Amino acid sequence: MASNSIIPYTSSSSSSHEVFVSFRGDIRNNFADHLFGGLGRKGIRFFRDDSKLEKGKLILPELLQAIDGSHILVVVFSEEYASSKWCLRELERIADYVDDRGKHVLPVFYRVDPSDVRKQSGQYKKAFDEYKQIFKEDEEKMEEVQRWREALARVGNLSGWHITNESEHSMIEIIVKDILKKLSQSISILPNQDLVGMESRVEEIEKLLCLDSVNDVGVVGICGMPGIGKTTLGRALYKTIFRQYDFHCYIDDVSKIFRDFSTLGLLKQLLRQILNDRSLEIYNVSAGTDLVQRRLRHARALIILDNVDNIDQLYQLALKPNQLCAGTRIIIISSDEHILRAYKVNRVYRVQPLTRDNAIQLFCKYAFEDNYIMSMFEELKYDVLSYADGHPLAIKVLGSFLFGQDVSQWRRALAMLRESPDEDVMKVLRISFDGLKPIQKEIFLDIACFFSDDFEKDYVEEVLNFRGYYPEINLSVLVQKSLITIEEGRIYMPTLLSDLGRCIVREKSPKKPRKWSRLWDYQDLRKVMLDHKAAKNLEAIEVYGDDEFDYQETTITADALSKMRHLKLLEFRNVNFSGRLDFLSNELGYLTWWKYPFDYLPSNFQPDNLVELILRDSNIKQLWKDTKPLPNLRRLDLSYSQSLIELPHFGEAPKLEWLNLEGCTQLSEIQASIGLLRRLTFLNLRNCTNLVSVHCSIWGLNTLEYLTLSCCSKLCKLLDEPRDGEHLKKRCIGEAPVHSQSASSIGNLLQEALYSISCLRQLDLSCCSLLQIPVTVGNLHCLEWLNLRGNKFGTLPSLKELSRLYYINLEHCKQLKCLPELPSRTHFSSQTFRSPFPKSVLLEHKEVAVLNIFDCPELADRERCNRMCFSWMMQIVKAIHQYQYNPLTGWLDPCVESVIPGSEIPRWFNNQNVGMGNLMSIDTPPLIQHDNNCIGIACCVIFRFHDENITWEELPPRTGPPHTVPIEIPVDLFNEEYMSTSDHIWLFYFTRQQLNFLRDSWHMADRADFKFIFKFEILQTQLFKAKVKEYGYRWVYEEDVKLSNVTTMHSGNLLPQKRKLLAIEENK
């Protein structure tokens, strides 16, 4: 770039200056001094050769490095400029940057004619005549003189300022203003490599600040958890925009200054910065606030106040927006959003964790001092990033700690960090915790130890209420202090904060867990159980066995539980106990014990406080040998307790809402007391394979919303009289002949029962060998989910009026001859479907709009069936689009799907292809990506099961062409015994929002050549595999939804405007 005759460009050029000014000494004490003064007042860093160079250093190299490192290069051409060889050598280097987009060259013609500069005439001719005379014998020097001429011509032709007799003061203001503008556009906000992912965040805050508006005073808050990067973001923002203001200041640690030096110290900091006077003194608060108001009333200011932890700190500064100059901007940085809201900021920006890509980039800079991860560490990076959870401080600390270590050391270090987190990180995170009130600290510790990993907010509130912690108020405090987040009704706490809470609990006595208030670790539990001393402080235990090996091989004696008198929460999963259990704390409100090893609960246990009892997969025979009151019990789960033979008397549990008896294979009867459960909303009897009778009082449960009787094939009577075993055995549904009296009477009873529980939302009668379905099913207007899989009925009642029904499963109904009338319209309630389960014990069904008619060989009139299914699908699509309804499922599953018999793709699917194993390839035309009338994509697949080996097509690699977004689409078709070998059609639909999410997550938003690849899989089957024979798809538009009908689907008739659109797509 520079000429070899001077000094070659060096990479060590200084970057500490923003502006370099080339000038001759004849204007040093007038124009140059005034220009430097104007730059200094605006905080612009400039290079001045007579004040910055150290004595004894060569002038020329320093000057050239300053030129290379500056963003703005100003050349002041004065009468004597050309007479200085040093100035001309500077100019030669500057001229090399004329075409450099990263720099700006600005000429100032100070009382000289620009044409004299360009043509070397006038005074400039005189100087060059002298050079010609002096260097006429030196060819190399004459070449240098020629380069000077070219540099003068090149720079002299640029647009600049011509100063003659005008006011120098006003011209300098114009020049400085232009320099400020160019600096704002050209200077990177990332002065060092640590600021990863910051540029987009600064741009977002600039939008919130409305910088172009000069008619008001804007106040914006920045909040987020400690260490998340609020200060880094604030500083980057300040460096980007401070030059636009008359006054500006950044106060680093408001809370510390206020704590150490009171209000007076805070005012001094503010005034010294905005007035640029480090020696300024004020002696009382009143004089300080008065001076602040006077100075800021008529001048635009940028004020950033970092680490504010008390609203009084803001009030004491007297920065009242109505008393400040219009155009002023105030930015308040705090970990406590409540402070920002109370101060009535205009907008709040919450700093989020780093994205995955940015987290990897930052980690690599510290762990490898590079931008990529060494291959041997590739697998471990996910463990590191999962632990850090996008937290910049943690990523830096982890990266620095792991730098230079090998793979085995990495593994040991990560294990150690989970046991003993880094002290520097914990110290920063603890700042917000220490500012909590005592009851708020207890809530934080409960969530950190037990509820950090995505729990329902309602459930956590219920537990905290039981603990006496008033969560309705105090949870919001934790949110405002960025210690937890609550999204879509669920609570989440970052791993680092969870580790902080556990560290705080351990502080009580690091080596003696029996003195802690909470236990969560399996090894710590063993220590406590082996220590025969009482654990007086212990109030909550939640321990999961490390893995199945621990459960089988390691045994803990249960005796020590008798000494834990103040336990309120107790949860064990996969922990193997032996010995005796003579006592449980009467203060227990929540008891969860998977694989409970004893036949009964302790006889002296008084469960008056018990809210939830979960003994899943246990050895329990019955809860107690006698009757005990359960006045507060809301949930009872005894599922898969295969020794259970008798249930408690439900009259003792009047508040019970949730009863799960799934898989209790020895249970034969549900007694009459179930009718006393007037609050029961959920009843699961799935796989109660020996259940013979349920008392008819169950149908008086008019609050019941979820009823599952799946695989209860021996259920034969609704008792209203003493049970006669022989009589009932003959009337089992599963054994009754088609025309038997018992089948008819059971059908009548079921019909009356369903009429009385009309608020059902979910009904599962699958695999019950039912010969008929009551007509009253069609009157369950709240019904959303209906599973009739694997039954023996031939017809179904009309479902036409069930407008909320989005899931219908009829697969393996081998006697089904015709489809019922399907819902004529679909309405989604404002409340998204929510599972009734408070924790992770969920029903195993997908929350997808489904119509499944797989393996129904007797079904007649396939064309009618296809028409009905297509119409149903479009009704769901219309409802989703009309109500802007979020998909019922996750982003990686279709929100609508239907499996029906058939072997022909309807013509409506205007892109059709022959199958390729288990893959579908979908092109995405550019027009589709930018057309807002396109609302989604509907797909159709013809598949068949095979029992021979099939060679699958493999998904394209995640990187490299073609650009793809692979999506695995599971279809639950259950057991191998039901597999059909006939062709079936599978329809499914993705919304535009889902596809955009997937495309963006793969960073393909800017690409026009990517494809969606759908991978077709069948879950829960080993003997058979499904092969795609043909597939088709159609990009769905609003017009399709409005005018969808049978003719459109089968004839291929297209709207005129759609024909035009498709023609455009083809031309593209």
Active site residues per annotation: 90
**CA angle, residues 379, 380, 386, in degrees to nearest 5:** 110
- The answer to whether residues 292 and 319 touch, using CB atoms and an 8 Å cutoff, is yes
- The answer to whether residues 829 and 807 touch, using CB atoms and an 8 Å cutoff, is no
Render the burial of 229-268: b for 16+ CB within 10 Å, e for the rest.
bbbbbbbbbbbbbbbbbbbbbbbebbbebbeeeebeebbb
CA 669, CA 667: separation in Å to the nearest integer?
6
**What type of residue is 62?**
E
Q: What does each C-alpha distance from 427 to 92, 401, 431, 482, 822 come to in angstroms?
A: 54, 17, 7, 16, 61
CA 810, CA 604: separation in Å to the nearest integer?
49
Q: In whole angstroms, what separates CA 845 from the centre of its chain? A: 24
**What type of residue is 1017?**
E
| Phi-psi group of 506: left, alpha or beta (phi > 0 → left; psi -120 to 50 → alpha; rest → beta) | alpha
- The answer to whether residues 368 and 374 touch, using CB atoms and an 8 Å cutoff, is yes
CA 307, CA 946: separation in Å to the nearest integer?
65
What SS3 class is residue 845? coil
Q: Which two tokens stand for residue 801?
A: 């009026």
Phi and psi angles of residue 1057, each rounded to the nearest 5 degrees, phi first: -65, -30
Please, how many CA atoms are within 13 Å of residue 386, restricted to the half-sphere of its CB?
Answer: 9
- The answer to whether residues 1029 and 940 touch, using CB atoms and an 8 Å cutoff, is no
**What type of residue is 303?**
I
- The answer to whether residues 965 and 931 touch, using CB atoms and an 8 Å cutoff, is no
Q: Which residues contact 403 (CB under 8 A, 6 or more apart)?
A: 366, 367, 368, 369
Residues for the chain: how many in total? 1068
SS (H, E, C) 125-150: HHHHHHHHHHCCCCHHHHHHHHHHHH
- The DSSP call for residue 514 is G
- Nearest CA to 349 out of 331, 330, 329 is that of 331
CA 632, CA 652: separation in Å to the nearest integer?
9
**CA angle, residues 301, 307, 312, in degrees to nearest 5:** 80
- The answer to whether residues 695 and 674 touch, using CB atoms and an 8 Å cutoff, is yes
DSSP structure string for 1029-1062: EEEEEEEEEHHHHHT--HHHHHH----HHHHHHH
- The answer to whether residues 381 and 360 touch, using CB atoms and an 8 Å cutoff, is yes
**CA angle, residues 842, 847, 851, in degrees to nearest 5:** 130
